[in-house]
Amino acid sequence: MEPMTEKYVIGVDIGGTNLVVGVIPAEGGEPVALRSAATRGQRGPAAVVSDVGTMANAVISETLQRTGASQEQVVGIGIGCPGSIDLKAGVVLTAPNLGWSNYPMRDHISEQLGLPATLDNDANCATYGEWWQGAGRGAGVLSGVTLGTGIGAGLIVDGRIIHGASGSAGEIGHTTIDFTGRRCACGNYGCLEAYASGPNIAARAREGLEAGYKSLLVKLVDGDLDQITAITVYDALVQGDDYAHEVMLETAKILGAGIANLVNTFNPEIVVIVGGVTRSGDHLFGPLRSEVRRRAFKSAVDACQIVPGELTQKAGVIGAAGIFVATCEMDQ
């Protein structure tokens, strides 16, 4: 195996909201250069590929300047994208949050930059990042859970991502926690995501207010309840609002049921939770851990830590780059 020392890999994290591109040392470590921009996915995938090209060239230039490395030391691109992915073909089959389908993302970005590329699901990338360089470093059996516009998970055993039969392993956002419950955007009832995704935390908060609960939240959005987001709920919570506290507690219990299911099914030694909601810290993690303990198998709970990610917004780019590195090593 050729040593990867002093080689660099471009990490690309295409999110529903933000597009992040960075250069990561192939042997691991912090990004040498990093750019972030709005994805604006409604322009279509080709416009985003063009943005990726521009941003990648900028971070490459910055890296060469800063490290004295040559262009040849940048050896490839790891890409993460939400939705269902055909891993072998490098195609985004459907990305509902972006409105894309059947787009050969890997090859278009590869051609744009003249470098080999890999493509994987964004939750897998964030999970791999936390396993490679973050809170789950070196764990034998790890699960990452991404909380955001959607809820996803990645599963890693002995350093390898479990992709499943069609690349959709870890879709815990659409696991049922209440089979007669709340309708989800996917058409199903009682999905975890129908309660605990960012937009649905906000929706549940709004519903309570419309039903007459009193809360600081109303003032925080100047009475325009449509402006409530998961972040507003968190802001009201830290200002001591009882109702916001109740919404967060319920969120933690629901997430706890979903994560207990993951713990019982997959028995990970660590669950790393990634995404903006983790800023709620112990307001979220305290009741969440209690609920998992209450619901999951004792031997599985005793063997499992539940922790926030360490890489924050960089988990996706670092993990995408790490997957490229691992794929090269496997091919050699």
Which residues in this chain contact its own copies in the complex, by CB under 8 A? 84, 93-94, 140-141, 153, 155, 157, 162-172, 174-181, 186, 188, 190, 253-254, 257, 260-262, 264-269, 294-297, 299-300, 302-304
At residue 252's C-alpha, the angle toward residues 250 and 258, to 5°, is: 105
Least distance from its own copies to the Cβ atom of residue 76, Å: 25
Report the nearest approach of its own copies to the CB of residue 144 (Å): 13
- For its own copies, which is the closer residue by CB, 63 or 121? 121
Q: How far is the CB of 232 from its own copies (least distance, A)?
A: 25
Q: Taking the complex as a whole, how short is the minimal distance between the CB of residue 271 and its own copies, in angstroms?
A: 11
Which lies closer to its own copies via its Cβ, residue 174 or residue 289?
174
- The Cβ of residue 47 has, within 10 Å, a number of other Cβ atoms equal to 13
Burial of 84 (0-12, 13-18, 19+ CB in 10 A): middle
CB 312 within 8 A of CB 275: no
**Nearest distance from residue 139's CB to its own copies, in Å?**
8
Residue number, 67 or 84, with CB nearest to its own copies: 84
The DSSP-derived string for 26-93 is TT--S-SEEEEEE--GGG-HHHHHHHHHHHHHHHHHHHHHHH---GGGEEEEEEEESSEEETTTTEEE
Nearest-angstrom CA–CA distance, 32 and 64:
10
Distance between CA atoms of residues 154 and 323, nearest Å: 13
DSSP 205: H
* Residues pairing with 155 in the sheet: 143
Q: Which residue number, 39 or 175, has a Cβ lying nearer to its own copies?
A: 175
Q: Minimum Å distance from CB 172 to its own copies?
A: 6
Q: Residue 64's CB: how many other CB atoms inside 10 A?
A: 18
- Residue 36 CB, shortest distance to its own copies, in Å, is 29
The H or E element spanning position 256 is helix 242-266
Kindly state the smallest distance separating residue 176's Cβ from its own copies, in Å. 5
Beta-bridge mates of residue 278: none
226 near 218, Cβ under 8 Å?
no
Sheet holding 8-14, edge to edge: 33-38, 18-25, 8-14, 74-81, 117-121
- Which residue, 28 or 190, has its beta carbon nearer to its own copies? 190
Residues 241 and 132: their CA atoms lie apart, in Å, by 38
Nearest residue (CB) to its own copies, 274 versus 304: 304
Q: Considering the complex, state which of residue 52 and residue 153 has its C-beta at the smaller distance from its own copies.
A: 153
Pick 163 or 279: Cβ nearer its own copies: 163
Alpha-carbon span 260 to 280, nearest angstrom: 20
Tell me the closest approach of the beta carbon of residue 330 to its own copies, in angstroms.
Answer: 13
Considering beta carbons, is residue 41 or 268 the nearer one to its own copies? 268
